[in-house]
Amino acid sequence: MKKWVFSMALFATLGLQDSQNQLMLSHDDSHAPATFSVEDAQYLDPALVETRDLQVRGMQIEGFSGASLQKLQSAFKVLEAAVNSEEFKDRVLNFKNSKGEPAFASNKGFTNEQIYEQFMEGRETLQPQTPGEMNFYLRLYNRPWSRVIGYTSATTNTININWRFFRNYAPADVAANLAHEWTHKLGFDHRSASEYDSAPYAIGYIVGDIAKKLSSKPLHE
Ligand SMILES: [Zn+2]
């Protein structure tokens, strides 16, 4: 009987995954985003592209309290530091997709440089009036059987985050998740949960990598 209940729960979860954008970060290093290096002919010198400043703002935060709120605030801090870093700029500009081309998958016709600029411009599709800001409307929910880490849709500001994963995450992992979901807020998507070289996935991974490095040393207030 118990087994049957579990299957039903899993079935319901899979149905949900089909209908909503979701993030299933596998933390598998084989999906680590590749980049062109200085020696490659296609390498774009980051010094040729203007460095921008993006601020992280929590607009509406639901379901977080105590330790989870503290973790979220740490995640905001490390996310902000990561996206404003030179490494982030370099890795987005020089991103190489799974075919070895200097482009994100599902890029809507935009180059790496244009995607970097749109990201740092901070104009979400639904909130274009706040440039220079990553505006977050977050809701923490608890669905213990679900394999969905977080989800959002094109018609809402709200990003939903599953407590099942959040509770075990380090702030750097939360920052990666937020970067992925926020890239959706800019209008970028992925065709499947395994399109790792799409903008949401690749940028999420890049932010996660940088955030992990930054987390190992103290951040400025
Ligand atoms: Zn996604």
**What are the domain boundaries of the chain?**
2-21+32-215
pLDDT (mean) for 109-131:
97
| pTM for the full predicted model | 0.85
Ligand 1 center to 18 CA (angstroms): 12
Residues 34-79: tens digit of each pLDDT:
999 999 999 999 999 998 899 999 999 999 999 999 999 999 999 9
Ligand 1 center to 183 CA (angstroms): 8
Ligand 1 center to 150 CA (angstroms): 8
Ligand 1 center to 198 CA (angstroms): 9
Domain 2-21+32-215 matching CATH 3.40.390: the answer reads yes
Ligand 1 center to 201 CA (angstroms): 7
Ligand 1 center to 147 CA (angstroms): 13
Strand order in the sheet with 55-62: 21-23, 150-152, 158-162, 133-141, 55-62
State the DSSP H helix or E strand holding residue 22, giving kind and residue range, or none if neither. Answer: strand 21-23
